[in-house]
Amino acid sequence: MRIRYLLLNAYAYGGTVRTVVNQANALAAVGHTVEVVSVRRNRAAPPFGLHPAVRLQPLVDGTEPAAARWARPLEAWLAGRPSGLVAESEGQYGRFSRLSDWRLVRYLRGLDGGVLVTTRPALSLLSARFAPAGVVRIGQEHRYYGHYGADLAREIDARYRRLHAVTVLTAADRETYAARLAGAGVRVEQIPHPLSGGAPRRSRLDRPLILSAGRLTADKGFDTLIRAFADVAADHPEWQLRIYGTGPERDRLRALINERHLYNHVYLMGTTPRLERELAKASVFALAAPQAGCGMALAEAMSHGVPPVGFDCPHGPRELIRDGPSPDGVLVSPPGDAGALGRALRKLVEHPELRREMGKRAAESARRYEPGGIRDRWVALCHALLADPPS
């Protein structure tokens, strides 16, 4: 099978790039012909290691020596002109240009068969417009429909109908896209991101440690988590809360920690290249985003057998945690309620046997996100679309 991933910049750091490279490598490792096509290139080598069989191709190479660019003055002029094809609602509009328009259209029109996976709406919209019949066109969503502005959402509604499939991360988005694209024959599949791979080490769940991770922005609710934990720490002073990540809210969170006199119990840890090692120490993993925005950290924590706690909201922990008769974590309602979150944390802090039961189930549940299984779902989707020749 021949599969191509089209992304904005394979040479940059970022969650999208990392997951695309993981997928490309997993497919190449089992013998598929994989190509990664990057609209831009801003450094010599990509930061994430590619399987040697994966071909990497930039469309606009910003690392070319200036002399090479002067030799083609028309292209140099185009590179400085704003894009006419990409909608201005695209968050990274400034990264596109007339030159990237021209190269993208030439690339897409020149495709012959195989599968094309586009990794952001601007690229999926161009794939829908310019990729020829005979190419299986899959739009891979890395964000949530509800986060797009009205202009971009309108374009998606109108043009994604020419795609063969859209893959989404959450069940809530699967329903949204199915409704938006109803009657167009577009297959909407929910395929989550894979875990980072390797065999996750199981936490012993015996350290008095609650862990959280994410970018320190206001919408992640870390202030709610700190308030919730304050109740627990008052009665269980040996417990700690460690928050991994950096961001604009750091100073405000530190002020809250000081105001509540939690400086011996709550720590802003900054970033670590080895989050998985820290996850494997924790007894509870907590997220407090009151609405969408639950990254891979929660699934990673579950894979280490750490029971997760989070608010019950669309696109959030609800997508990963099964709460009920034999729960693999705790879903807290109403979203944003520090008191309710504190009660859920306290229950896990006070009942080690509950942590062990939930943690065991969490590790089992997280097997859904193992890279091999996710790859097989991609292969099955591509084969099904290739076998049913697209019109």
Partner 1 sequence: MDGASRGGGMPGAEVEEVWPRGGRILLRLSLVGTGAEGATLVLRVRGAGGAELQVRADGSGHRFEACLPLAPLVAAGGDVDAWVWDLYLVPDGSGGEALRLGKHLDDVRGKKHIFRYPVQHAARTAVEPYFTAKDNLSISCRRGAAGRGAAR
- Residue closer to partner 1 (CB basis): 261 or 367: 261
SS3 assignment, position 37: strand
- Residue closer to partner 1 (CB basis): 141 or 223: 223
Question: Any contact of residue 208 with partner 1 (CB under 8 A)?
Answer: no
Closest CA to 131 of 37, 231, 247: 37
Question: Any contact of residue 333 with partner 1 (CB under 8 A)?
Answer: no
Provide the mask over 278-307, with x wherever binding to partner 1 is found by CB under 8 A and - wherever it is not.
---x--------------------------
Among the residue ranges 12-20, 261-269, 310-318, 319-327, the one whose residues contact partner 1 (CB under 8 A): 261-269
Which residue shows structure tokens 């899959």?
138
Question: Any contact of residue 263 with partner 1 (CB under 8 A)?
Answer: yes
Strands (E), the chain: 2-9, 33-41, 55-61, 115-118, 136-140, 165-168, 187-190, 209-213, 240-244, 266-270, 284-286, 308-311, 330-332
* C-alpha atoms less than 13 angstroms from C-alpha of 371 in its C-beta half-sphere: 19
> CA torsion, points 105, 120, 147, 26, in degrees to nearest 10?
170
Q: How many residues lie near partner 1 (CB under 8 A)?
A: 10
Q: Which one among 79, 217, 231, 267 touches partner 1, defined by CB under 8 A?
A: 267
- What is the DSSP code string of 266-335? EEEEE--TTHHHHHTT-SEEE---SSS---HHHHHHHHTTPPEEEE--TTTGGGT---SSS-SSEEESST
Rounded CA-CA distance 233/132 in Å is 61
Task: Give the Å distances, CA to CA, from 276 to 238, 283, 358.
Answer: 23, 14, 19
Q: How far is the CB of 234 from partner 1 (least distance, A)?
A: 14
Binding positions for partner 1, 236-255, rule CB under 8 A = 254
Closest CA to 119 of 53, 191, 216, 176: 191
Q: How far is the CB of 290 from partner 1 (least distance, A)?
A: 26
Question: Any contact of residue 261 with partner 1 (CB under 8 A)?
Answer: yes
Q: Which one among 258, 271, 339, 388 touches partner 1, defined by CB under 8 A?
A: 258
Q: How far is the CB of 281 from partner 1 (least distance, A)?
A: 7
Q: Which one among 185, 270, 352, 372 touches partner 1, defined by CB under 8 A?
A: 270
Among the residue ranges 211-219, 257-265, 310-318, 351-359, the one whose residues contact partner 1 (CB under 8 A): 257-265
CA angle 3, 12, 66 (to 5 degrees): 100
Sign of CA dihedral 176, 373, 6, 31: negative
Q: How far is the CB of 190 from partner 1 (least distance, A)?
A: 37
Rounded CA-CA distance 7/141 in Å is 12
Indicate the burial class of 54 (C-beta count within 10 angstroms; 0-12, 13-18, 19 or more).
buried
Among the residue ranges 105-113, 141-149, 189-197, 267-275, the one whose residues contact partner 1 (CB under 8 A): 267-275
Among the residue ranges 19-27, 57-65, 263-271, 313-321, the one whose residues contact partner 1 (CB under 8 A): 263-271
Alpha-carbon 174 to chain mean position: 15
- Residue closer to partner 1 (CB basis): 27 or 233: 233
Q: How far is the CB of 272 from partner 1 (least distance, A)?
A: 10
Q: How far is the CB of 352 from partner 1 (least distance, A)?
A: 20
Question: How many CB atoms sit inside 10 A of residue 68's CB?
Answer: 11
- Residue closer to partner 1 (CB basis): 96 or 244: 244
Q: Which one among 53, 178, 269, 386 touches partner 1, defined by CB under 8 A?
A: 269
Q: How far is the CB of 198 from partner 1 (least distance, A)?
A: 21
- Give the residues lining the site for partner 1 (CB under 8 A): 254, 258, 261, 263-264, 267-270, 281
